[in-house]
Structure 1
Amino acid sequence: MAKLHSKLIWVILITLLLFVGYLYWMPGQKTETRRAGTAVAVSTATVQTMPMIRSVNALGTGISNQSITLVSPTSDFVTELNVREGKAVKNGEVIARLNDIEERARVTELQGILEDNKRQLARLKNLATTQATAQSLLDEQQTKVNTTLAQLDIAKAQLAEMTIMAPFDGYLGLRQVSEGAYLNAGTVITTLDDLNTLRVAFSVAEHYLADIAVGMPLTVTNAAYGTAAFSGKISAVDTRLDPVTRTVTVHGALPNTDLKLRPGMLLNVTLELDKRQALQISEKALVPQQQKQFVYKVDAQSKVSQVEVTIGQRIPGWVEILTGLEEGDEVVVEGIQKLRSGVSINRVGG
């Protein structure tokens, strides 16, 4: 009876061992079956050589290429006003005139005095040739001529101040006075802005200072025009950095013949630091392992193998490949978590 009981125990133990072995063996068989017979659905892409653009983004403010506020240089009445808001004016065009009757009269008076003094000087010079006049009288008359000339120059300058002209081509702003009004010195008449070229001022971290140079391309966008981009170039880089923010101020110049951009606008600036051709893949294809990067490369039999790659510059969505792949190689970009080397794939999606 004891022998029968002992045999029964051994039968139970052997049965348990066989069952445990079966549990471990079946998942492996299923995995091998899947590897051998069922292809994993993934998305793939080819390695391409494309432009690798490294850029920096910043917020900028639009400023006029040239901008002034036209003010009254003296106190008097406005006798002529040629201000129409938004009007394009040329260099030298009359914007306003002040009452200049006294100034014109003063110029005419001094011109008459000057002519008389010059005649007196010429007469004395003729007399001096016959020694009929003293040299002191000749010198005194020459002084009168010189003094009158200086007074005439001052009078002409005062007369010129009564006419306010555009110092450069541009567009007039809002009119602040009316014709016939009495203006005090310094009263604002209007503004003048050169809008055909708009400058954009923005700040860049000192980290990028060595990469920035005059003439580099940039683009700007503004909320008023959605995704429409306006292209320009760097026109100047400040010689000093802000000691608090550690940034440098950069100015860009943007052609603006259609006048879409205006001074004071908030502009989103993209500054292109570098542009070159580089071998690239989607960032989604990378499989990081410790300090290394791998991808799953697809062979001619639609099987994958894990390949180590060396990466370079990164831009949003893309990464440069320095070693490990060649142009035209096919790599897996989606479904990576289901893969191991040697697994067959089924391409789906794009």
Structure 2
Amino acid sequence: MNRDRSRGVAFALGALFCFCGMGPAVAAPRLVATVRIQTGPEDVTIPEKVAVLLAGERRDLAFEVPGRLEFCLDEGTTVELGRVVARLDETLEKAQFLGASLRLRDSRSEERRIRGLRDAQAASAQQLEGAETRLALRRAEAAVAREQLERRTLTSPLGGEIVATYLEAGEVATPGTRVATVMDFSWLRLKLGIPGFQIGLVEEGDRVRLAIPSMGERVVEGEVRRVAGAAADGRHLFDVEVFVPNEDGKLRPGMMVGASIVTDHLPFAMGIPLEAVVERKGRKVAFFVHDGVARALSLESAIRVGNRLLSSTEIPSSFLVVRGQRDLFDGAPVRVDNTVLSNVAQQ
């Protein structure tokens, strides 16, 4: 009886020794798939808005005086600042200016002659004063005649292109009637509507990236020039005006563009796809694989840009878990099998 009891105790102690020698149970590795995340500088942008390019500066040209149109440049003509665009018949005004100029010349000669006589005590002060008065009148007369002549000519107030003409040579132009329209294509405008929850991120001077579908992969940059202080009536959107340089002249008003306002720049960041993000205890995290285990990265301070979260936190690994992350915890052993991604892609 004592021998059987001793054998039972020895068996129990042996089983306990064996159990303790094995140590704690080890969890089986979780099967995951990963992708390598690229890190580097990143722009923080407001998601792309579709908009239409507008003319940078457009001027309608009209005469201030009536007259018969002598000539007007053709539509499509490129003009520089100050170039003559149109002119009214100026036969009468030229004659009047010529007469006023001749009379002014005679008055100058007379004033110089009398001033010389006055210096030689051969003319009175009253005679010199009269000559000076007549000279002043002739100057005013010539200035009026010059102004009347100049008002018969329209010059371009900016460099650009004649985009429309409204009268032909020989027709009568009345004051204020449009004769031509000139447009400056060296820069264009863009007006974006930004909702209130984003407008606080936008400042004058911010860069704007413009994708132009009609020009393939071309991307140009603009600049925020004005941010509205109040939302537009009934839309709850704030108008943001963008300056778009157009040095090569290839952009045109009416083109559709996708505009993204750059509100910040991160010198170091990684973009984590939203589908890789899970919640743990109410916080957003993503998992990376390092030395065979999963490491959780908190994304509470990450910035959402489109379908990604930008994080500037440095990590020991660049292999992001994109499949199997929902059952992971920090420190969980994992086994990477990226054939999961291949199978999903084939399906």
TM-score range, shorter chain: 0.7 to 0.9
Q: Residue 279 and residue 257 in structure 1: after superposition, are their counterparts in 2 closer, same or farther (change >3 A)?
A: closer
Match of 1:176 in 2: 166
Match of 2:124 in 1: 134
Per-residue CA distance 1:5-59 (angstroms, 9 max, x = gap): xxxxxxxxxxxxxxxxxxxxxxxxxxx9xx75xx765321245423332112445
Bigger Rg over Cα: 1
Return 57-66 or 71-80, whichever deviates more.
57-66
Q: Is residue 336 of structure 1 aligned with residue 325 of structure 2? A: yes
Q: Is residue 216 of structure 1 aligned with residue 211 of structure 2? A: no
Match of 2:304 in 1: 314
Q: Is residue 292 of structure 1 aligned with residue 283 of structure 2? A: yes
Match of 1:27 in 2: none
From 217, 226, 232, give the equivalent of 1:237: 226
Q: Residue 201 and residue 290 in structure 1: after superposition, are their counterparts in 2 closer, same or farther (change >3 A)?
A: same
Q: Is residue 282 of structure 1 aligned with residue 261 of structure 2? A: no
**Mapping 1:199-214, distance limit 5 Å:** 199-204=189-194, 211-214=201-204
Q: Residue 292 and residue 64 in structure 1: after superposition, are their counterparts in 2 closer, same or farther (change >3 A)?
A: closer
Gaps of 5+ in 1: 1-31
Asked if 2 retains the 8 angstrom alpha-carbon contact of 1:47 and 1:326, the reply is no
From 112, 116, 124, give the equivalent of 2:102: 112
Match of 1:125 in 2: 115
Match of 2:70 in 1: 79
Match of 2:315 in 1: 326
Match of 1:22 in 2: none
Q: Is residue 65 of structure 1 aligned with residue 73 of structure 2? A: no
Asked if 2 retains the 8 angstrom alpha-carbon contact of 1:309 and 1:321, the reply is no
CA distance in 2, matches of 1:91, 1:180: 26
Asked if 1 retains the 8 angstrom alpha-carbon contact of 2:232 and 2:239, the reply is no
Q: Residue 130 and residue 41 in structure 1: after superposition, are their counterparts in 2 closer, same or farther (change >3 A)?
A: closer
| TM-score (ref. length: structure 1) | 0.74
Return 64-73 or 100-109, whichever deviates more.
64-73
Aligned partner of residue 174 in structure 1, secondary structure: strand
Q: Residue 149 and residue 292 in structure 1: after superposition, are their counterparts in 2 closer, same or farther (change >3 A)?
A: same
Aligned AA (1:288): E
Asked if 1 retains the 8 angstrom alpha-carbon contact of 2:68 and 2:89, the reply is yes
The alignment of Structure 1 onto Structure 2 pairs a total of residues equal to 310
CA distance in 1, matches of 2:232, 2:74: 44
Asked if 2 retains the 8 angstrom alpha-carbon contact of 1:311 and 1:319, the reply is no
Aligned AA (1:199): R
Q: CA RMSD in A?
A: 3.3
CA distance in 2, matches of 1:192, 1:322: 49
Identical counterparts, % of pairs: 21
Asked if 1 retains the 8 angstrom alpha-carbon contact of 2:33 and 2:336, the reply is no
| TM-score (ref. length: structure 2) | 0.75
Asked if 1 retains the 8 angstrom alpha-carbon contact of 2:288 and 2:321, the reply is yes
Gaps of 5+ in 2: 1-24, 343-347
Aligned AA (1:66): E
CA distance in 2, matches of 1:315, 1:130: 89
Return 54-63 or 187-196, whichever deviates more.
54-63
Aligned AA (2:59): I
Match of 1:50 in 2: 40
From 158, 171, 177, give the equivalent of 1:187: 177
Match of 2:133 in 1: 143
How far residue 203 of structure 1 moved from its aligned partner, in angstroms, is 4.5
Return 222-231 or 182-191, whichever deviates more.
222-231
